[in-house]
Amino acid sequence: MQTVAKTLGAGSRALSGFLGLSVIGLAVAVLATPMNVGDVVDWAERIFGAVFIVMFAGMVYVALLSIVQIRCIPPHAAGHRSWFETGLQAANGIATLALTYTLLGISLGIGSLSSQTLSPETIQSVIGGLTEHFSMAFMSTVVGLPVSAALRAVLLVTRSRVEERQLVLVHRPHDPTGNQ
């Protein structure tokens, strides 16, 4: 029962981190652009699509949960390495998702050219569709790769710090007087 409670606690801390980072990301987007929050959300849904957003958010949450678990579980205890590997796979999955959507956007853009006739009357709509697909392609990479790299870095540094802390505790000289 205690393991379930610890896992739920870690899950709620990861969710809090995820929601906090989401709010900060929205605030930065609102400050950096002339859009309000609703416009940013609409833009993200239009550019990335719901499937990308859900998969991206799920993998970010798993990576954050892994970071929380790595901090809570001692380095040589059961589960520590598994959570570390899980976090790395989630971070790598974000990079893979971003690159997959990049190729998908380029393919959809090129595919849309093959099904349309180019003429002076249609060129505007053809270019509009092409840029919409290319926008998804490149924005998925612009967002996904830095997030993936940041999560991998945090995972690696967190694990190193936890292991280093454990080594200090194990190798601390024992003071028979009780002073440390």
The burial class, CB within 10 Å (0-12 / 13-18 / 19+), for 53 is: middle
Examine the pLDDT at 153 and tell me if it is beyond 60: yes
C-alpha angle 128/105/135, rounded to 5°?
50
* pTM for this predicted structure: 0.82
Question: Is 175 a residue whose pLDDT tops 70?
Answer: no
Contact call for residues 95 and 126 (beta carbons, < 8 A)? no
Span 132-148, average pLDDT: 90
Structure tokens at 153: 């870095």
Q: Calculate mean pLDDT across residues 79-100.
A: 96
Condensed to tens digits (0 to 9), the pLDDT of residues 42-61 reads: 999 998 999 999 999 999 99
Q: What is the pLDDT, as a whole number, of residue 145? A: 96
pLDDT > 70 in the chain, percent? 91
